[in-house]
Structure 1
Amino acid sequence: MAKTETQADMGLEEESGSKAGRILLFAVPILFAVVLVGVLLTVMNPNARNTVLETANQIPVVGSLLPKPTYTPEQQAQRKEEQQAASAEATINQLKTQLAQKNAELKTTQQAQTDTQTQLETLQKQLEETEAKQKEEAEAAAAAEPKAEDKPSDKVKQLAQTYGSMSASKAAPIIQTLTDEEMAMILNAMNTEQRSAILQKMTADKAAKVSIMLKNAASAAQLEKAANTARAAVSSSDQSSQKTPSTSGSLNQDQLSQTFSSMDAASASALLTQMAKTNQAKVLTILKSVDDATRSNILSQMANTDSETAASLANKLIGG
């Protein structure tokens, strides 16, 4: 029993000695390093010593065993300036970094604005081209459409229909008794087929003159104005040679229209031809009172029997 206790005590002593040996194994080099550093610090100049202490103080365990660096007032001021310079440099570097980021963002924004402006300019150009094209198309359409002043008046249309319903051989002699301006006005209001047929039945001189007037005419209104001027000149010449008799009668316009519209064209033509020999004014009043178809039939029959009287009456119908 005693032996066992002795062995246990010996084991504890060996274990304690082993731990102490291990501690010494680590502590001795550290103490040696501290002593060595202390010797070196004593030998080194203050600046180098402070530098070594600053570095050694950052080492765990060792730093806690070493003294802190000591600085003279001049070194403290210089150290403070260096720290301020380092802080200022760090701030400047940070500001430079921020400035570079802002410049990059600004360039990106400017590029986006440039792209947007380019798109706007492209759209504006397309809009202007579209508007110009629409304007050209509208002008072309307006030029293709006949203007109101290029169309014959209703009165001229009715007269052209009257002659157009007659045969070309009968209408041509009557139309030739009109002034050149009146012939051009009436033929211009006809369709191409009617105009061509009548021109073939006219004398070559008259047909050529009227054709040139039709080619040079700017509009139907211009032809009508020239015809009215020419008729006014002829009427003025006629009035100077004889006085126009009164056209008043005992029957009103409706009664005259109904009377001659109910007659056949041959009878009405013969009656009006006889009346025209004594009073053309009354005949004109009667012809004006009937509709276009009746007037056309009467003048057609009258042209068969007395083309000269028919031409004279048609001439005055245009002038009236």
Structure 2
Amino acid sequence: MEKSFEEKEGQPVNRFQWFLFVIAIPALFAIVVALVVLSFAGINVFQTASELGEKIPFVSKMLNEDEQPSVEEYEKNIISLEAEIQDNEAKMEQLEAKIESKDMEAERLELEKTQLEAQIEELTAIQEDNKRAFKDIVKTYETMSAKKAAPIIAEMENEEALKILTNIKAESLAAIMEKLPSDVAAKYTELLTNESSKQMP
């Protein structure tokens, strides 16, 4: 009974050993010998197998998936990326130039603004000086006797005379008008009337 059990237990081992020694090892040996012989004959077995594999649809797909990019493809990718980097750098330079140009424009406008403000201040100061000077002139005519002021007014241009006559006190104006020749007094009376009508709403 024990012997038959051992025989039954040893049968699968014997079959595996038989497969190993009779089929597997000789087949592997035959493949190795074939590879050696073909390589000595100058046939690149792996390249031939790859070419045959490309013709078979399923195998070619697997080969293409496993295939790594070539050095040329890497070089092309590097050149493409370098070109992209240069393009981006050129765009950045253009943007920087635009920013610089806008900064310069802003500085120029700021300088112009400062200059204009200085001119306004200067003109305002001149205007204030002119106002003070004109007030002084008016005061001079008000303090001057009508007998002396009238001939000077008569010799003036209409616009200048009118400026003084419209700004002096009413008493001084009346006194000067009395001393002016009648035709000149009439002319200035008309001009003063027109001027006052312009100022009325």
Q: How high is the TM-score relative to the length of structure 2?
A: 0.52
Q: Which residue identity does 1:51 align to in structure 2? A: V
What CA deviation, in whole Å up to 9, does each residue of 1:251-279 have, x standing for no partner? xxxxxxxxxxxxxxxxxxxxxxxxxxxxx
Change (3 A) 1:187 1:41: closer
Which residue number in structure 2 is paired with residue 100 of structure 1?
80
**1:251-262, aligned counterparts within 5 Å?**
none
Larger RCO of the pair (alpha carbons < 8 Å, separation 6+): 1
Q: Which residue identity does 1:19 align to in structure 2? A: V
Please tell me whether residue 118 in structure 1 is matched to residue 98 in structure 2.
yes
Which residue number in structure 2 is paired with residue 305 of structure 1?
none
Q: How high is the TM-score relative to the length of structure 1?
A: 0.36
Which residue number in structure 2 is paired with residue 160 of structure 1?
141
Please tell me whether residue 192 in structure 1 is matched to residue 132 in structure 2.
no
Pick one of 37, 41, 46 that aligns with 1:46: 41
The structure number with the bigger radius of gyration is: 1
Unaligned 5+ runs, structure 1:
1-6, 56-88, 164-170, 213-320
What CA deviation, in whole Å up to 9, does each residue of 1:218-277 have, x standing for no partner? xxxxxxxxxxxxxxxxxxxxxxxxxxxxxxxxxxxxxxxxxxxxxxxxxxxxxxxxxxxx
The Cα of 1:21 is off from its aligned counterpart by 0.4
Distance 2:95 2:12 in 1: 82
Give 1 or 2: higher helix fraction: 2
Is the CA contact (8 Å cut-off) linking 1:152 and 1:189 kept in structure 2? no
Q: Secondary structure at the match of 2:133?
A: coil
Distance 1:53 1:186 in 2: 116
Pick one of 23, 26, 37 that aligns with 2:17: 23
Please tell me whether residue 10 in structure 1 is matched to residue 4 in structure 2.
yes
Is the CA contact (8 Å cut-off) linking 1:157 and 1:189 kept in structure 2? yes
Is the CA contact (8 Å cut-off) linking 1:161 and 1:190 kept in structure 2? no
How many residue pairs match? The answer is: 162
The Cα of 1:11 is off from its aligned counterpart by 1.9
What CA deviation, in whole Å up to 9, does each residue of 1:27-46 have, x standing for no partner? 54324533653468758981
Distance 1:141 1:188 in 2: 25
Distance 1:40 1:155 in 2: 124
The Cα of 1:152 is off from its aligned counterpart by 3.4
> Could you say what the CA RMSD is over the residues aligned between the two structures, in angstroms?
4.7
Distance 2:114 2:87 in 1: 40
Change (3 A) 1:142 1:52: closer
Q: Which residue identity does 2:27 align to in structure 1? A: A
Distance 1:131 1:151 in 2: 31
Is the CA contact (8 Å cut-off) linking 2:138 and 2:164 kept in structure 1? yes
Pick one of 126, 146, 149 that aligns with 1:175: 149
Change (3 A) 1:15 1:93: same
The Cα of 1:190 is off from its aligned counterpart by 7.1
Change (3 A) 1:117 1:40: closer
The Cα of 1:182 is off from its aligned counterpart by 8.5
The Cα of 1:118 is off from its aligned counterpart by 1.2
Which residue number in structure 2 is paired with residue 229 of structure 1?
none
Q: Secondary structure at the match of 2:88?
A: helix
Change (3 A) 1:47 1:114: same
Change (3 A) 1:10 1:115: same
Please tell me whether residue 203 in structure 1 is matched to residue 181 in structure 2.
yes
Please tell me whether residue 33 in structure 1 is matched to residue 7 in structure 2.
no
